[in-house]
Every structure is written in structure tokens, then in C-alpha cells.
């Protein structure tokens, strides 16, 4: 696994060995899982395998032989491996300070790439799906030729990861917006259909599947714990939405679902909190969910919004992208920031020089944290 600039910069992390062969293999498998899920879902593994899969399989076999383990014999077996062998398995030995040890690349219920898989795949060379989402938004911004138009299109994408032909007559679907964004949607893939229908999570608006779609469990009926949605973390207090006539529907590209639509609720909550407190801000140009506060004197204060499960990988990504502001508030969902170890992993993965400049916060804590930072600045002045 590649060590980010942030990681290398901090001597206190010298004991970690993220460059380990197992860690690199884990990253390669993450990229393979993302690539295969994108093109064909996870059910058809006919020979000859796609190049990326054959290379990952060969490398896994070599690694297993070196380690004295029984290797997977086929792509379906390798897939099952990715569903059951977590990051902390001795074969991968990914440091717990980088990726939570229980993380698997394929979701045990949905049998689709996990969110963590997309985050790990974004950690390697080229920036993976997260960079792909940024590139797609960058192209859209260039096509829009105006900030207001771009913001309108971006909001449409974030709020409508799945659109249906009949919605075209509803509110908020302007022809001008649709003509600019429709290339970012595609038909609903067959592997996301259940008995010819498409299921959507009412909370994250992303695809959902009950357990047993690919491997039916006789006599079982789906309970809350048996449902997967792409957001993974959603409450199950409302039934899934059923979208009939899926041939009349389109779905947003996977990278944009995860890295634009998913953080959008947090972004709206953060903006509402600023508005309620009367804190003036403007959206920064570019693909990120980023804002700059106004009236901050000589200090530049930015806000970035992210929804990432692996906080250490988020910290490394932020450090690698060299924040321009004096102070950046990194807003993540409240439920994530409260998790055991989430804040510590974020802070530990930052180089010491950035620890005072990148402040992890949540929509609820954003305004109080801003106030605290201002008081601190006044005390220092």
C-alpha cells in the first residue's frame, strides 16, 4: 500500500509498514472489484477474465504460495475471498491505523463493492473513483460555462442519483439542466434488479438489494439486517422504494453516487447551520464540496464536506491535496465522527504541521467549532 505524503511526513508513524505486499495486494483487489462491478456486476465471471482480474488473480496466487496459504483457483473464488477476508487478515495485514481491520472489499449482503472498497481504490495511483468523480464534475463545470449553471447541475446530480422518465414532468427537472447532465447517467444495470424491479433506499436514494438475490437462501425472508443499500449506514425505519419499469430509469455513474450524492445531505446540513448562524460563505469553484467563509480578516477559512468511512484515508487525501486555507473545517456526518477511533485515526494520519489547520467537525458542531477557533485567534492576537 502506498504511503501518502502525510504518512511519510510524520515520524511517529515510523512503525507502520503500509508498503507491505499484502497491503498493496489489498489495494489492487479493491481496484479490481470496482472495475468489475462497473462493467458487469458481480455475477458473470466467464473466461477469459478481464485483464485487471487476471492480473489480480495471478498476483494473489503468488502471494498465497509465498505465504503458504491455499490460493483461490478462479475469479469467483477470488471474489468470495474479497467478501470474506478483511483488511486485517494476516494475508493483507493492512495497518489498522489506515483501514479498519474488519473491512471487506465486497459487501457480505449486497455482494457489491463496499464504500470502503471505493475509498481504498481511491488511495492508489491515479486517485481511483474519487478522482474520477472530480474529473467528471470538472468536465461538467467546463461545459456549463458559468458558476450558477454548474451549481444547478451539480445540485440536480446530487439530489437525483436515480431518475425516472415520469419525473421529467415533475418539479425541478429543467430541460437545460437535463441536457447538460444526461451523459452522466446510464441505464439501470441488470444486476441491480430484483424480479425485474429496482429497489431504492429511501434514506440515501441509492440502490438497495435484499440478501439472497445472487445466492437465494431457501425459506428466508428479508429482515432489516438482510438489506444492503449503497449508503450502507442508513436506518431501516422505512420500506425500500420500488421503482417499476426500470427500463425507463437512469442511474448516475457509480463514482458520483458515492463521492457526490452521498455527502450531499451533510453538505446541505452544514450550509443550513451556517445560514442559521448568519455566517457568510461562498461556494469555491471546482468539483469539491467546498466553501470559503467571508469576513474572516486576513485569515482564509474554508469548509470541505466529505462522507468517508475510512478517516485515515481521508486525512491522507486531504494532506496530499495541500490545503490552501489557513484553517479548513472538514465536515463529516455526525454519526461517523462519533464512532470509536474515527477522530483519532484522522488526526494520527495527518502530518504534525497540518493537525492545527485541518479540523474534523460535523454539521451540528460546525458553528460552535468556528466560534472556538475565532476566540482562539482573538486570544492569540
Nearer to Zn ion, 136 or 201 (CB): 201
Q: Per-residue x/- mask for Zn ion, residues 193 to 212, rule CB under 5 A? A: --------x-xx--------
SS3 call for 295: coil
Closest approach, Cβ 7 to Zn ion, in A, equals 31
For 193-315, strand residue ranges (E) read: 193-194, 197-200, 207-210, 227-229, 241-243, 249-252, 281-283, 290-293, 301-305
Nearer to Zn ion, 35 or 201 (CB): 201
Q: How far apart are CA 31 and CA 24, in angstroms?
A: 11
8 A C-beta contact, residue 366 and residue 274 = yes
Nearer to Zn ion, 115 or 271 (CB): 115
Nearer to Zn ion, 31 or 160 (CB): 160
Closest approach, Cβ 332 to Zn ion, in A, equals 17
Closest approach, Cβ 362 to Zn ion, in A, equals 19
Q: Which of 41, 206, 187 is nearest to 111 (CA)?
A: 41
229 binds Zn ion (CB under 5 A): yes
8 A C-beta contact, residue 315 and residue 352 = no
Nearer to Zn ion, 204 or 332 (CB): 204
234 binds Zn ion (CB under 5 A): yes
- Please identify, among the stretches 10-18, 65-73, 100-108, 232-240, the one whose residues bind Zn ion according to the rule CB under 5 A: 232-240
Closest approach, Cβ 173 to Zn ion, in A, equals 22
Q: How far apart are CA 252 and CA 261, in angstroms?
A: 9
Nearer to Zn ion, 257 or 271 (CB): 257
8 A C-beta contact, residue 318 and residue 304 = yes
Nearer to Zn ion, 152 or 203 (CB): 203
8 A C-beta contact, residue 284 and residue 302 = yes
Closest approach, Cβ 255 to Zn ion, in A, equals 17
109 binds Zn ion (CB under 5 A): no
How many residues are there in the chain?
A: 381
- Please identify, among the stretches 185-193, 226-234, 237-245, 369-377, the one whose residues bind Zn ion according to the rule CB under 5 A: 226-234
Cis-peptide into 48, omega within 30 deg: yes
- Residues lying near Zn ion in the complex (CB under 5 A): 201, 203-204, 229, 231, 234
Amino acid at each position: 500500500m502506498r504511503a501518502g505524503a502525510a504518512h511519510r511526513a510524520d515520524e511517529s508513524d515510523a512503525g507502520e509498514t503500509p508498503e507491505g505486499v499484502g497491503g498493496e495486494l489489498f489495494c489492487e483487489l479493491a481496484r479490481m472489484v470496482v472495475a468489475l462491478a462497473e462493467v458487469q456486476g458481480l455475477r458473470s465471471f466467464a473466461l477469459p477474465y478481464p485483464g485487471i482480474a487476471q492480473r489480480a488473480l495471478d498476483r494473489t496466487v503468488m502471494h498465497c504460495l509465498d505465504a503458504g496459504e491455499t490460493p483461490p483457483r478462479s475469479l469467483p473464488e477470488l471474489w468470495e475471498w474479497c467478501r470474506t477476508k478483511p483488511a486485517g487478515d494476516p494475508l493483507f495485514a493492512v495497518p489498522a491505523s489506515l483501514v479498519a481491520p474488519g473491512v471487506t472489499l465486497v459487501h457480505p449482503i449486497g455482494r457489491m463493492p463496499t464504500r470502503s472498497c471505493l475509498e481504498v481504490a481511491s488511495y492508489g495511483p491515479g486517485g481511483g473513483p474519487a478522482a474520477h468523480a472530480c474529473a467528471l464534475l470538472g468536465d461538467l463545470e467546463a461545459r456549463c460555462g458559468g458558476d450558477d449553471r454548474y451549481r444547478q447541475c451539480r445540485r440536480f446530480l446530487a439530489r437525483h442519483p436515480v431518475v425516472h422518465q415520469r419525473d421529467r414532468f415533475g418539479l425541478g427537472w429543467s430541460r437545460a439542466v437535463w441536457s447538460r447532465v444526461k451523459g452522466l447517467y446510464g441505464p439501470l444495470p441488470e444486476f441491480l434488479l430484483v424480479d425485474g424491479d429496482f429497489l431504492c433506499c429511501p434514506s440515501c436514494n441509492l440502490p438497495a438489494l435484499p440478501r439472497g438475490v445472487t445466492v437465494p437462501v431457501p425459506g428466508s425472508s428479508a429482515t432489516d439486517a438482510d438489506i444492503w443499500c449503497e449508503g450502507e449506514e442508513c436506518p431501516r425505519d422505512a420500506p425500500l422504494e420500488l421503482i417499476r419499469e426500470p427500463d425507463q430509469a437512469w442511474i448516475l455513474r457509480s463514482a458520483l453516487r458515492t463521492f457526490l450524492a452521498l455527502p450531499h445531505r451533510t453538505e446541505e446540513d452544514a450550509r443550513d447551520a451556517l445560514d442559521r448562524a448568519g455566517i457568510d460563505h461562498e461556494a469555491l469553484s471546482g468539483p469539491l464540496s467546498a466553501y470559503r467563509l467571508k469576513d474572516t480578516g486576513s485569515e482564509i477559512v474554508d469548509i470541505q464536506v466529505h462522507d468517508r468511512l475510512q478517516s485515515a484515508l481521508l486525512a491522507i487525501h486531504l494532506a496530499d491535496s495541500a490545503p490552501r486555507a489557513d484553517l479548513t473545517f472538514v465536515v463529516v456526518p455526525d454519526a461517523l465522527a462519533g464512532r470509536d477511533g474515527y477522530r483519532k485515526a484522522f488526526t494520527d494520519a495527518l502530518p504534525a504541521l497540518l493537525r492545527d489547520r485541518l479540523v474534523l467537525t460535523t454539521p451540528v458542531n460546525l458553528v460552535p467549532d468556528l466560534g472556538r477557533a475565532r476566540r482562539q485567534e482573538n486570544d492569540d492576537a
